[in-house]
């Protein structure tokens, strides 16, 4: 025990911000005046701290074996320093890869995907509304101008996607994983498309259909409770978007996912795939217990691939990559905005969650989301995970299609059209 306490004390001496640790018997380690206070209810969690297993320490916090006090920004700054090594460099040997692929196949059946999506997205619409923007856009914002608020940056992201897809009135547009309808409705109302969205979340399905009715969009916009695998037809859509969805598809199902997208897209049409990608080139979770924490409390079944794997699977499905943009720091700023908004309303968040279940369960959810939002912000800042927008086309094989000979799609092979007529566009 003395060796353990000595190790913890040596860690505390070099941490910035400062940390004080309170042991089960009442003893304090670290400075009397500190930015972060950690109180251990049992001794096992102390060994977790000493080993740098921050994901397991987070689990101890959610399960009330540890009390954390201090700002989330300070707590995450400490967490980075506690890590024993680079978290992207997890176990990536060949046998681990075989096991992961087998697990991925088992986790991503239609039934299990529906259960996993509902576990996360059906927590409580009112809870999400507390810290998301008014449109409830639950994906990386685009801070096109540094002074943008979160709401402005989310609208900029929606428009950025629509511009990249070059949406036109009357086109048939599919939004795979449409969430609370932000992009679906933006595309319909601002670009005049005939829009279809799908989701596996019952709450989101009900919410968006209510918005469609309220805005008089019935007949031109529809939201379906449907798995992407159940979409049938060949070449039905001029343009397709998938935002924050393919993280749930799974490594083993990724080829089939992009093959389905390719089949639904008209020859010459465009697909925008916007999603979180891994920092490591080999499939795997973040180390130090962080991946396991996300799997258990936030996104069961979630899997991240490096952008190189994504591009390979898209190409194998017959989709030609035309443009790739990394918005990693934009997601860090988005997550900090969400985290700050939640932190400013903890009592109200607790009340909302308690109204949907028991008080103990509500407290666990709130603790998990506090760490999830701030922890993901930290991971994006550090470059351990990224966010890529990939624009791709389904070539139609006709050399005369497009803005120049051989384009074989609607993509003009320059980026000017994405930014034309924006304020200050001439200087970009």
- Total number of domains in the chain: 2
Question: What does the DSSP assignment read for 410-422?
Answer: S--SSSHHHHTTS
Please give the pLDDT value at position 418: 95
Q: Residue 7 falls within a domain, yes or no? A: yes
Please give the pLDDT value at position 427: 33
- For residue 213, give both structure tokens: 């009715």
Looking at the structure, tell me whether residues 421 and 291 fall in a common domain.
yes
pTM: 0.90
Average pLDDT over every residue of 251-257:
92
CA angle 139, 305, 152 (to 5 degrees): 15
Calculate the average pLDDT of the chain: 88
Looking at the structure, tell me whether residues 314 and 356 fall in a common domain.
yes
Please give the pLDDT value at position 94: 38
The residue out of 24, 47, 82 marking a domain boundary is: 82
Q: Residue 88 falls within a domain, yes or no? A: no
Identified catalytic residue from 140, 162, 376, 379: 376
Determine contact, residues 277/387, Cβ cutoff 8 Å. Answer: yes
Contacts of 358 (CB under 8 A, 6+ apart): none
Looking at the structure, tell me whether residues 298 and 251 fall in a common domain.
yes
**pLDDT beyond 50 at 324:** yes
Q: What is the pLDDT confidence band of residue 164, given thresholds at 50, 70 and 90?
A: very high
Looking at the structure, tell me whether residues 308 and 383 fall in a common domain.
yes
Looking at the structure, tell me whether residues 144 and 174 fall in a common domain.
yes
Please give the pLDDT value at position 120: 58
Residues of the domain holding 9: 2-82
Q: Residue 96 falls within a domain, yes or no? A: no
Contacts of 48 (CB under 8 A, 6+ apart): 56, 57, 60
Looking at the structure, tell me whether residues 70 and 108 fall in a common domain.
no
Please give the pLDDT value at position 46: 81
Model confidence pLDDT, tens digit, residues 2-29? 776 777 777 787 888 999 999 988 889 8
Q: Residue 89 falls within a domain, yes or no? A: no
Q: Residue 98 falls within a domain, yes or no? A: no
Specify whether 376 is catalytic: yes
Looking at the structure, tell me whether residues 64 and 166 fall in a common domain.
no
CATH classification of the domain holding 409:
3.40.50.150
Mean pLDDT highest for which of 56-60, 90-94, 185-189, 367-371?
185-189
CATH classification of the domain holding 36:
3.30.1050.10
Q: Residue 93 falls within a domain, yes or no? A: no
Looking at the structure, tell me whether residues 72 and 219 fall in a common domain.
no
Average pLDDT over every residue of 377-387:
94
């Amino acid at each position: 025990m003395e060796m353990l306490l000595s190790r913890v004390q040596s860690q505390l001496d070099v941490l910035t911000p400062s940390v004080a640790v309170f042991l089960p018997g009442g003893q304090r380690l670290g400075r009397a005046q500190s930015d972060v206070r950690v109180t251990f209810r049992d001794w096992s969690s102390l060994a977790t701290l000493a080993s740098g297993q921050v994901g397991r320490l987070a689990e101890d916090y959610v399960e009330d074996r540890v009390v954390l006090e201090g700002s989330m920004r300070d707590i995450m700054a400490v967490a980075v320093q506690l890590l024993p090594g680079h978290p992207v460099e997890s176990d990536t040997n060949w046998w681990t890869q075989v096991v992961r692929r087998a697990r991925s196949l088992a986790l991503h059946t239609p039934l299990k995907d529906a259960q996993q999506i509902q576990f996360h997205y059906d927590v409580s619409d009112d809870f999400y509304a507390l810290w998301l923007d008014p449109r409830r856009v639950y994906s990386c914002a685009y801070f096109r101008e540094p002074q943008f608020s979160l709401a402005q940056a989310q609208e900029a992201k929606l428009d950025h996607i629509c511009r990249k897809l070059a949406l036109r009135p009357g086109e048939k547009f599919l939004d795979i994983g449409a969430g609370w309808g932000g992009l679906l409705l933006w595309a319909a109302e601002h670009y005049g498309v005939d829009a279809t969205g799908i989701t596996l979340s019952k709450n989101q399905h009900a919410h968006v259909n209510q918005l469609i009715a309220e805005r008089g969009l019935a007949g031109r916009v529809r939201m379906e409770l449907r798995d992407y695998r159940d979409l049938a037809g060949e070449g039905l859509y001029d343009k397709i978007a998938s935002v924050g969805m393919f993280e749930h598809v799974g490594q083993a199902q990724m080829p089939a996912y992009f093959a389905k997208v390719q089949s639904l897209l008209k020859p010459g049409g465009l697909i925008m795939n916007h999603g979180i990608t891994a920092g490591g080139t080999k499939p795997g979770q973040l180390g130090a217990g962080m991946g396991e924490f996300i799997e258990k409390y936030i996104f069961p079944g979630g899997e991240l691939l490096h952008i190189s794997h994504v591009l390979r699977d898209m190409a194998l499905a017959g989709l030609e990559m035309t443009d790739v943009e990394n918005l990693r720091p934009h997601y860090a700023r988005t997550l900090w905005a969400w985290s700050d908004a939640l932190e400013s309303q903890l009592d109200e968040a607790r009340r909302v969650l308690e109204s949907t279940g028991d008080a103990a369960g509500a407290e666990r959810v709130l603790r998990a989301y506090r760490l999830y939002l701030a922890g993901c912000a930290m991971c994006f800042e550090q470059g351990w995970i990224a966010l890529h927008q990939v624009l791709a086309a389904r070539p139609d094989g006709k050399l005369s299609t497009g803005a120049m000979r051989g384009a074989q799609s609607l993509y003009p092979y320059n980026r000017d059209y994405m930014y034309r007529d924006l304020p200050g566009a001439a200087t970009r």
